């Protein structure tokens, strides 16, 4: 087994000591916390079953363990949002059309079926959020509570924070949610409005966050742990240090996300890369741990990772090759243990990610060289 894997590449880019503890679960999101490691904190709150699950997670991440069922189910119920962030697929409705099928969105029964199967295999963690705003679903708390009741021990979500009023906050606090992350992507309202188009004022979202934290404290809730997140872009990178400084004492963790273009279709997305995301040389020693952790489900289809958008539009050969199966006629268990997943994992273990065209593109776009981006711009223009 390799001692080191290249998912730390993104982590290297944000080597900043403002906050003490730093970790990354997939190389694309860096978590910074001021106090103890967040997972140690959760282990203390939730107990042995949580620390056991994290041990499995760490082993899977190091490619030492292939579990019989995914450790994490990433369930994208729909693609509905009240914001139109330009760096997100949702901010680009024409691209959404090419990739998703609204008629195939998941309802509560689909969700229950997924959760029930996960529960049967003691799946420990889940997120019912994808490229959407989860709390636009009026009874999202019931979705979360259902997973909690069925034994999931780590239930997480991101939110843009706009729907989180006092009533929703109270319901969320009682839902069994473990991790709640408010995506802000800006320190000033001026930048917020640029990177989160259609957003309510940053001050209002901050008020929602502080109300949530207040209710949590007054109610004596230990969970969820609360974070804020910042997707680092050319348009906001100048505010990153102020952002971290401001939030580090107010929330449990600050996360920095690595930008990846939402599709390959438009070179206009390239304007979002911050300067320090560019690599001098093409990344060749990458091994992806997501196929060892998770199954991502959207439009009833199952995928081996969260970043399947580079695979191409619906109907293309790349798209069809990357889909692992459909929950209408295949169990998650069978998808996870099937030939497609096995082959993809082997490719990662052998360091041959380039053999899969979607993985090859994912690496090229997530850890880009300027040369590659320029060549893509020429090709598209
Ligand atoms: C897709 S959103 C969905 C949840 C919720 N609507 C929110 O904004 O948090 C989840 C996170 O992905 C980030 N994101 C959106 N587009 C991205 C991209 N192209 N690359 C990396 N992160 C992206 C957002 O900034 C947000 O923090
Ligand atoms: S709020 Fe979230 S889902 Fe909505 S457009 Fe922005 S990043 Fe995308």
Per-residue pLDDT reduced to its tens digit, 9-63? 444 443 344 455 565 555 555 666 654 688 888 999 999 999 999 999 999 999 9
Per-chain mean pLDDT for the chain: 90
Contact 272, 259 (CB under 8 A): yes
CA of 191 to the centre of ligand 1 (A): 16
- Cα 83 to averaged position of ligand 2 atoms, centre (Å): 6
The predicted pLDDT at position 149 comes to 98
Q: Whose CA is nearest to atom 1 of ligand 1?
A: 131
Closest ligand 1 atom to Cα of 157: 4
- What is the per-residue pLDDT across 243-253, written as a single tens digit (0 to 9) for each? 999 998 899 99
Q: Whose CA is nearest to atom 20 of ligand 1?
A: 259
Do 115 and 152 form a contact (C-beta atoms < 8 A)? yes
Ligand 1 centroid to Cα of residue 107, in Å, is 22
What does the pLDDT read at residue 8?
Answer: 40
Q: Higher-confidence residue: 309 or 229?
A: 229
Q: How confident is the model at residue 315 (pLDDT cuts 50, 70, 90)?
A: confident
Mean pLDDT of 258-283: 92
Backbone φ and ψ of 281, nearest 5°: -125, 155
If one residue of 83, 198, 231 were mutated to test the ligand 1 pocket, choosing by the most ligand atoms within 8 A of its CB, it would be 231
For residue range 290-299, list pLDDT tens digits in order. 999 999 999 9
Burial 364-379 (b: 16+ CB within 10 A, else e): bbbbbeeeebeebeee
- Say if ligand 2 is within 6 A of residue 82 CB: no
- Whether ligand 1 lies within 6 angstroms of the CB of 88 is answered as yes
Distance 144 CA to ligand 1 centre (A): 20
- Give the model's confidence band at 235: pLDDT under 50 very low, under 70 low, under 90 confident, else very high: very high
Q: 241 has which bridge partners?
A: none
Distance 160 CA to ligand 2 centre (A): 7
Q: What percent of the chain has pLDDT over 70?
A: 90
**Nearest ligand to the C-alpha atom of residue 140:** 1
Q: How far is the CA of 314 from the centre of ligand 2 (A)?
A: 21
Q: Would you call 331 helix, strand, or coil by DSSP?
A: coil
Write the residue with the smallest CA distance to atom 27 of ligand 1: 183
**Comparing 113-117, 209-213, 374-378, which segment has the lowest mean pLDDT?**
374-378
The pTM for the full model equals 0.92
68, burial (CB in 10 Å: exposed 0-12, middle 13-18, buried 19+): exposed
75, 111 Cβ separation under 8 angstroms: yes
**CA dihedral (324, 327, 329, 333) positive or negative:** positive
**Residue ranges of the alpha helices (H) in 134-186?**
140-149, 166-173
pLDDT > 90: what percent of the chain? 78
- Residue 151 near residue 203 (C-beta atoms within 8 A): no
Give per-residue pLDDT as tens, 325-357. 999 999 999 999 999 999 999 999 999 999 999
Q: Is the pLDDT of residue 3 over 50?
A: no
Give the Å distance between the CA of 299 and the centre of ligand 1: 18
**pLDDT score of 25:** 56
Nearest CA to ligand 1 atom 26: 183
Q: Which atom of ligand 1 is nearest to the CA of 269?
A: 19
């Amino acid at each position: 087994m390799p001692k080191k894997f290249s998912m730390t590449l993104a982590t290297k880019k944000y080597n900043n000591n403002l906050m003490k503890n730093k970790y990354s679960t997939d190389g694309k999101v860096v978590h910074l916390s001021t106090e103890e490691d967040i997972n140690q904190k959760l282990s203390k709150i939730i107990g042995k079953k949580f620390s056991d699950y994290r041990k499995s997670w760490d082993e899977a991440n190091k490619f030492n363990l292939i579990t019989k069922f995914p450790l994490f189910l990433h369930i994208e119920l729909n693609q509905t949002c009240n914001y139109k962030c330009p760096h997100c697929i949702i901010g680009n409705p024409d691209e959404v059309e090419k990739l998703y099928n609204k008629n195939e969105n998941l309802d509560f029964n689909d969700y229950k079926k997924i959760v029930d199967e996960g529960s049967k295999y003691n799946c420990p963690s889940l997120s019912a959020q994808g490229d959407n705003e989860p709390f636009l679903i009026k009874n999202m708390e019931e979705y979360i509570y259902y997973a909690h009741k069925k034994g999931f021990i780590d239930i997480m979500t991101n939110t843009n924070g706009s729907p989180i009023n006092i009533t929703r906050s109270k319901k969320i606090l009682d839902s069994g949610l473990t991790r709640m992350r408010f995506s802000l992507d800006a320190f000033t309202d001026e930048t917020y409005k640029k990177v989160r188009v259609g957003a309510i004022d940053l001050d209002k979202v901050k008020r929602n966050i502080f109300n949530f934290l207040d209710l949590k404290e007054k109610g004596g809730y230990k969970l969820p742990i609360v974070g804020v997140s910042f997707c680092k872009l050319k348009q906001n990178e100048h505010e990153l240090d102020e952002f971290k400084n401001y939030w580090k004492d107010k929330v449990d963790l600050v996360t920095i996300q690595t930008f990846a273009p939402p599709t390959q279709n438009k070179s206009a997305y390239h304007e979002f890369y911050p300067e320090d995301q560019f690599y001098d040389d093409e990344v060749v020693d990458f091994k992806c741990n997501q196929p060892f952790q998770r199954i991502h489900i959207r439009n009833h289809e199952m995928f081996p990772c969260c970043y399947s958008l580079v695979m191409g539009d619906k109907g293309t050969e790349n798209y069809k090759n990357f889909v692992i199966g459909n929950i209408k006629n295949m169990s998650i268990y069978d998808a996870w243990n099937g030939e497609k997943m096995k082959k993809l994992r082997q490719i990662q273990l052998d360091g041959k990610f380039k053999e899969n065209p979607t993985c090859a593109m994912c690496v090229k776009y997530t850890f880009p060289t300027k040369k590659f981006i320029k060549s893509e711009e020429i090709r598209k223009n």
